[in-house]
Homo-oligomer: A and B are copies of this chain.
């Protein structure tokens, strides 16, 4: 069982990688107990704290399940988590080497429509900033966004210049959020067909995103991507 570390430096990352390999290759099978920290420390020739750091990392990534006294076991269904970073549209477009352009289409103060108010836990009488805008890549429509912002939560938004900076970029910079939700679905382009220059029946990927500052809703955005768009991510 020895021979995995050829006398190499015993950093906690190195130990994590060896353990990861053992999990992947099923040297440790799903559901089984792995040796305890003291034994592993002896095997790797390092301090127990170093093993502990490595195993904590794997547990945080969902590959191990650790419980005091019960020991450490390999997770049955290694809940593969895809980490999908949510880049600013600008960065996403520019990362592909394309030119980014932002075009504001509408800006008004209005009360929220029923579904928006409901999702944000509002009564419906609040003052909200309603913004529609189009994001372009190399001059072609890329994404149309329909956004509602709760003015009470982010008062400074009313004074923001949203002609050059997109509301999302402004919010990211000026208004941190504590949590939020996202929903992906496929819809017919419908009202977004005009700005996206596609057929109203064309299937488009739509993302609904809602963010919160503690119990106060910040914003509600529905994004409609151009029909050809594919959202890719690594596992």
Is the beta-carbon distance between A235 and B211 smaller than 8 angstroms? yes
Q: Determine whether A72 belongs to the interface, using a CB cutoff of 8 Å to chain B.
A: no
Q: Scoring A residues 206 to 235 as 1 if CB is less than 8 Å from chain B, else 0, what string do you get?
A: 100101000000000000010101111111
Contacts of A233 in B (CB 8 A): 84, 181-183
A-B contact sample (6 more), CB < 8 A, given A185-B229, A201-B201: A80-B85, A81-B85, A84-B233, A179-B234, A181-B234, A203-B203
Contacts of A84 in B (CB 8 A): 81-84, 233
Chain B residue nearest in CB terms to A210: B235
Given contacts A81-B83, A81-B85, A85-B80, contact A184 B205 (CB under 8 A): yes
Shortest Cβ distance from residue A23 to the other chain B in the assembled complex, whole angstroms: 8
Is the beta-carbon distance between B186 and A204 smaller than 8 angstroms? yes
